[in-house]
Structures are given as structure tokens and as C-alpha cells.
Structure 1
Amino acid sequence: MSQARSGNAVEVAHLTVRRGGREVLHDVSLTIPQGSITGLLGPSGCGKTTLMRSIVGTQIVAGGEVSALGRPAGSAELRHRIGYVTQAPSIYNDISVYENVAYYAALYGRDRAATEEAINAVGLMEYATQRGDELSGGQKTRASLACALVAQPELLILDEPTVGLDPVLRVDLWQKFRELAAAGTTLVVSSHVMDEAEHCDRLLLMRDGRLLAQLSPDELRTETGEQNLEHAFLALITKGQAA
């Protein structure tokens, strides 16, 4: 697996994004270490998806630099190295779960075993023959994740992948994310639920298009004096407003 010389899978410097004449990301700079799980957390509308799109290379930026795996974001050579799962399910409704995942497997040169492994990883094997339009919302989200996992990407960007999933499946998915990180995959997982921060090695905390902090869960507790991470995040916001 090729790596960026810096040891970071993602580097963002002074990123600014405007949409509809309004600035939605304000001078954001950050790094994301390789082989880690980085949680991108903040309330809905704070700019998490825009930042993720900038890393993937699908967002027009007004200023700054973004690199992924040592190359400028959006470079053609990154298309087979980065997986991106959006909030909206990205599967074909008129074919089965298996056929959806097998299609992406063929695009990336993966075999039948990889297809079945990806479907198993998201707990959908018993629904493998069902069409996309026969799945529930949560099942569609899992099928989309399987389509990304089958490519075995070096960098996996997940935009709120656990929304609408039951607690047991959420635990299973986070265990899978941990296994992927242990094998060298870098994951960026967005959420507006602070209890998911516990599963992350590093946190990127956002509010109103600004990066408030990049630190570990334990560092957040130490900095704020709060053990509950949601309370710690609120304390960080209050501290920033006072400053």
C-alpha cells in the first residue's frame, strides 16, 4: 500500500469553500494520520459533508490546498484508492444487493470472494438476493458501504454511515472499522452523535464552518475537564465563544 511521505493520509491547508455567495468553510487546516479512525463531528450544517467532498475532490474550493495519499485531491490516480460513502444510498434499485456489490467488485478487479466478504461485513448476506428497492433505508446504507468496502480502498470516507441503524449493528460496524484501520486503511467518519467519538483515534470538531479542534478523545477530556464527550464538546464551544 503506497503512503504519503509525511505519514498523513490527508493534509488540508487554509481551505476555504464558498457556496451561493456564502463562505461555508473558513480557513480550515488539518491533518489525518494514516491507518487511523478520525471522527469528524459537529452539528448538522456545520460543514462536515463539504469538508469530506473537498478531500474526495468533488467540491470546488475557493482557496487553500487539499491532498490525499500524497496527491492533490481529485487526482485521477486516486479514484481507485479512495472510497466514499455519501449520506444518500448509492446503489441501483433494480438489481440485487449481490449484483450491486459484484458490479463495483468488477470495476476494481476484485473477485467473488471479495464480494461475499464485503456483504458479510455489513450483515446483509441473508438479503443478498433482494433488489435495492426492496431494502429498508438502513439496509440501503449498508449496501452502499459494502460497495465501497469491496474496492479495498486505502482511504475510506464515510458520511454519517450509522444514521438510522440499530444499536447492535452500529457496534458491529464500528468493530469492522477498527479492523480496517488495524490493517492499514485510513477512515474518516462523520457523525453528529458525540457518543461515536469514543470509537475514534482522533477527533475533528467543527461548528459553523470552522475547525474548533483536532485532538484525541482523552485530550478533549483533559482540555475541558469533562468526562462526558458531549459535555466536553459543549465546553469547547463555550470556551471558543468566550475567547
Structure 2
Amino acid sequence: MTSRPAAIEASGLYVSRARTAILCGLDFTVDSGRITGLLGPSGSGKTTLMRAIVGVQRITRGTLVVLGLPAGSSPLRADVGYVTQGASVYPDLSVEANVRYFGAMHSATTADAAEAIAAVGLESLARQKAADLSGGQFSRVSLACALVARPRLLILDEPTVGLDPVLRAELWERFAAMAAAGTTLLVSSHVMEEASHCSSLLLLRDGLLLAQLTPAELAERGRSADLERAFLTIIKAADRGQEERPVAP
């Protein structure tokens, strides 16, 4: 079977701010056309890594290649979508106007905007002002604004925060459909139960990459079908390894 090309490749990746190491020597690959979960507790470096991938975070050392080009390269602007935790939409505009505005930057048509709105399940609210939507609906407008550009790589920073279980399930179904159609998704979360929706997982803690593995491998390595418990087992093992490591004189 032919292996999928890498959408993201990191080698010896370091990011520091104010002399504080945020990411410490990360090495990983993200395959194309799949959902990769970026998982770890708050403060582990997930958002910093995502910002580095989209080119808005300076890299201190190492290499980071995105879709075959150095992260942040100008040609990537049309191919990489980024949805932050804070929804980036205009509250005084309608759902449709927001999506058409962002789509215009990528020469998207009215039909493209309608398709993006449908993809996040907001067709019935297309003419409604974003300010009048619920929190979950507001977040989905931001996602539609990213989808309208038809990015080859979509970076999502904790997109399910604050959503009820039904909406979370619907959103993951949409992510799976996008991956099946060829889009690469990197989705961050601190909710370990969401790991089961991903093809591959990057486990971060304190700026270190503890492992890159599948959900099944996580369960096996962590000796538990409960993925949160399995992750905690890996964290404790990593902490013990650091304690037992000889201190340089």
C-alpha cells in the first residue's frame, strides 16, 4: 500500500519566548488526508505549535515544513486554514455575509459560501446576524469562514470547547467527511475522549512530544481502554523517566 505524503514535517523544533522554552525538540509528521489529534493539558504548547505551523510564531531552532514548503511561506496562505479558540467573525454581519467576505479573499463564489455554511449545518441561519447566534453556532460561523477557502490543511484549536455533546458529535462527523474528501486536519483538544475520532495522535506535555501513535496504540501503551487514563499512565511514566535521568555535573 502506498504511504500518504506528509502534510507537516517537524524536525528538532524548538520555540522559546522570553528565554523560556515552549516547545522542546519536537520531531513528528502529519499525514495528508487524515485527522491528527494534538492532545495535552492546558499549557502543554498546543497553541504555540499550531501558530508555528501557520507561520505566525517564530521558530527558535529546527525545521517545520508544511505542504512541502517552510512554515509561513506566502504560497501557503491559500492552502492553510486556521480556526482559533476565539471566533474570528464580525458579529454585526449575517452568517452569509461573514462567509462571503472571507471567501472573497480567496476568489470564492456565492455557491462556495453556501456550501461552507451547509458544511457546518447553519443553512437555516444564513441570514441571521452572528451576534444573535448561540455560542456553539457562533463558533461554527468561524469554521465556515475557514472552509470557504477550501484549504488543503485545516488547523483547529480546540473547536469543540463549550459545545454540547450532540454538537460535538456532529462536528466530528463533518471533520471525518472532510478528511475522506482529502483535507488534512490537525485538531487540538484537552478532552481525551475525542482522541478516538483521530487517525493519529500527538501527545504533548510541558512542550515535549511524549508520543505519536494511534488511539489503539495509546490504549495498549497506557494499558487502558479509557484513553484519558491511558494518557495519564504515559505522563506518569515520562515523569518517572525525568526523575531517574542522571543530572549533568
Structure 1 gaps of 5+ residues are: none
Q: Shift of the alpha carbon at 1:130?
A: 2.0
Residue matched to 2:184: 186
My pick for the range that moved more, 30-39 or 15-24, is 15-24
1:63-121 Cα offsets, whole Å, 9 max, x none, are 11111000000000000000000001101122111000011222212222221111111
Residue of structure 1 in register with 2:5 after alignment: 7
Alignment of 1:90-105 (within 5 A): 90-105=88-103
CA distance in 2, matches of 1:216, 1:209: 20
Instruction: For 1:74 and 1:44, locate their aligned partners in 2 and report how far apart those are by CA, in whole Å.
Output: 25
Q: Distance in 2 between matches of 1:141 and 1:103?
A: 17
Letter of the structure 2 residue corresponding to residue 207 of structure 1: R
Aligned counterpart in structure 1 of residue 76 of structure 2, from 67, 75, 78: 78
Counterpart of 2:23 in structure 1 is 25
Q: Determine the structure 2 residue equivalent to 1:122.
A: 120
Name the CA distance, whole Å, in 1 between partners of 2:78 and 2:96.
Answer: 21
Q: Say what the alpha-carbon RMSD is for the aligned residues.
A: 1.3
Contact in 1 for aligned 2:14/2:59 (Cα 8 Å): yes
CA distance in 1, matches of 2:128, 2:57: 33
Shift of 1:142: 0.6
Question: Contact 2:4 / 2:32 at 8 angstroms: preserved in 1?
Answer: no
Q: Please report how far the alpha carbon of residue 135 of structure 1 lies from its aligned counterpart in structure 2 after TM superposition.
A: 2.4
Show the 5 A alignment for 1:99-178. 99-178=97-176
Could you list the structure 1 runs, at least 4 aligned residues long, displaced by more than 3 angstroms after superposition: none
Map 1:222-241 → 2, pairs under 5 A: 222-241=220-239
Query: Structure 2, unaligned stretches of length 5 or more?
Result: 242-249
Which of these two proteins has the greater Rg computed from alpha carbons? 2
Percent identity between matched residues is 55
Query: CA offset at residue 6 of structure 1?
Result: 7.7
- Listed one character per residue, the Cα deviations across residues 118-175 of structure 1 (whole Å, up to 9, x for unaligned) are 1111122222122222223222211000000111100000000011112111111111
Tell me, in whole angstroms, the C-alpha distance in 1 between the residues paired with 2:93 and 2:8.
35
TM-score, with normalisation over the residues of structure 2?
0.93
Task: Measure the CA separation in 1 of the matches of 2:128 and 2:17.
Answer: 39
Query: Displacement of 1:20 after TM fit?
Result: 2.4
The change in CA–CA distance for 1:6 and 1:197 in structure 2 (over 3 A counts) is: closer
1:50 aligns with 2:56: no
Q: Distance in 2 between matches of 1:31 and 1:100?
A: 33
Instruction: Find the residue that maps to 2:78 and give its secondary structure.
Output: coil
Contact 2:81 2:155 in 1 (8 A): yes
Counterpart residue identity of residue 87, structure 2: P
Give the residue type in structure 1 aligned to 2:185.
L
Looking at structure 2, the residues matched to 6 and 120 of structure 1 have their Cα atoms a distance apart, in angstroms, of 29
Which letter maps to 1:45?
G
Q: What CA distance in whole angstroms lies between the structure 1 residues aligned with 2:222 and 2:94?
A: 48
Number of residues of Structure 1 aligned to a counterpart in Structure 2: 239
Measure, in 2, the Cα distance between the counterparts of 1:120 and 1:57: 29
